[in-house]
Amino acid sequence: MGVNWADLPTDLVVNILDKHIVSFVDGLAFSGVCRSWRKASELVNLKHKWECQMPWLMLTDGNQDITEHEWIGPYLKPDHEKVRCYNVECDLGYGRKCWGSSHGWILTHGIDDNMYLFNPLTKDCLDLPCRRTIPFLRDNSGEFLGAYFINRAVVLKVSGDTLVVVLIYDAYLRAAIAKPGDTQWTPIISEKRAIYRRVMDVLYRRDNLGTDGLVFVNESGNIALVNLDDVQNKKPLALSWYGCYVPYIQTYIVNSGQDLLLVLRIFETETNDEGKVREGEHDIDHYKTVNFKVYKFQFDDRSWEELKDLQDVALFVGNNATMSVRASEMGCQRNCIYFTDTYTFGSNATKDKLAGHDFCVF
């Protein structure tokens, strides 16, 4: 007998979508079958499925005439089993530098200095302040500035599902924060000896008293706290660093369950001519990751304890938000660090040639 799938009871369709459709992309395809299924899908918050998805890699297809990107998931799974590729049109990503996040939003910055958050699957777009409103912006111009002025961009979801964006820029010496809809970036000011305390990463964390805050880490493993209530008042914020000195160049910070972890990435610099990258009049060293170390923060004495085993945890690091996942739930390797290139040069990342040469699973 023929079955009219559009006539399935709404409660049943909602149950199927909510309980049995795991992939966010499959959920979108499900909602596109017919009007009744689309209506049912509106009763399910598809966006919450980002929370249980493996991170993806976004690669341009290398064709300058179209604005299509290829998304690959799961993220660099070594055995390449169950790898899915999606061709997604990303108009707002065309000709722009992009940073990803763990919440499905992509931050873009173009030569017009406009900045946006956009979701490549839902096509939602949120305005951010113009780059020209970033505090302490030096009067530089050209492609070199566009590519390297912002070292890191982190999209955070704070209490109430509010999105905030933190930029780390100017050779990691400064940071600024804004929410979608703001008209300018609010400065986060480090101490005067900032050259010795370069800001490397940031995360959102709620303490035991229910206070919302941002936790910053510098290259020496020192951490600093900022109260989010001060961010709401849009006043300049000051970073006061304390303790826990661990001297390395590239550091990341991440929530892992109830733990606060510090990830140290150790590089070697290749100085031969073939290892140089040429951007205009600038020669840039070719970096290669050779090791990682991970520490857990001890809140009682404000110190870092080195971990030798991550157990069932996998970490993801790059130039966007650092992520921690439960490997057994996500289907990735346990006790591993998946990493992408922090120093990406130019815009020539394609599925055949990744601009980020320094990526692998540690």
pLDDT tens profile 240-271: 777 666 656 688 999 998 899 999 988 876 65
Helices (H), 133-278: 143-148, 228-232
Q: Two tokens at 319?
A: 């130039």
Q: With a cut of 60, say whether residue 349 has pLDDT above it.
A: no
pLDDT at position 132 is: 86
220 vs 317, more confident: 317
Give Cα separations from 117 to 99, 106, 155, 156, 188 (angstroms): 10, 5, 9, 12, 21
Measure CA 143 to chain center: 22
pLDDT at position 193 is: 54
pLDDT interval class at 65 (50, 70, 90): very low
Identify the CA nearest to 148 among candidates 265, 287, 348, 282: 282
Q: With a cut of 60, say whether residue 344 has pLDDT above it.
A: no
pLDDT at position 115 is: 92
Kindly report the length of the chain: 362
Domain range 54-361, CATH architecture: 7 Propeller (2.130)
Of 46-60, 259-273, 297-311, 330-344, least confident by mean pLDDT is 46-60
Q: Strand pairing of 250-256 and 259-270? A: antiparallel
Instruction: Give the Cα separation of 182 and 185 in Å (integer).
Output: 8
Q: Two tokens at 335?
A: 């006790």
Taking residues 85-111, report their average pLDDT: 78
pLDDT at position 345 is: 44
pLDDT tens profile 216-232: 988 888 888 888 877 66
- Range with the largest mean pLDDT of 201-210, 279-288, 351-360: 201-210
Q: With a cut of 80, say whether residue 356 has pLDDT above it.
A: no
pLDDT at position 20 is: 83
pLDDT at position 351 is: 45
DSSP one-letter string for 336-350: EEEE--SS--TT--B
pLDDT at position 32 is: 84
Q: With a cut of 90, say whether residue 321 has pLDDT above it.
A: no
Whether the CB-CB separation of 74 and 23 falls below 8 Å is answered with: no
Identify the CA nearest to 120 among candidates 76, 68, 61: 68
pLDDT at position 178 is: 92
Taking residues 109-132, report their average pLDDT: 87
- What is the CB-side half-sphere exposure of residue 161 using CA atoms within 13 A? 7
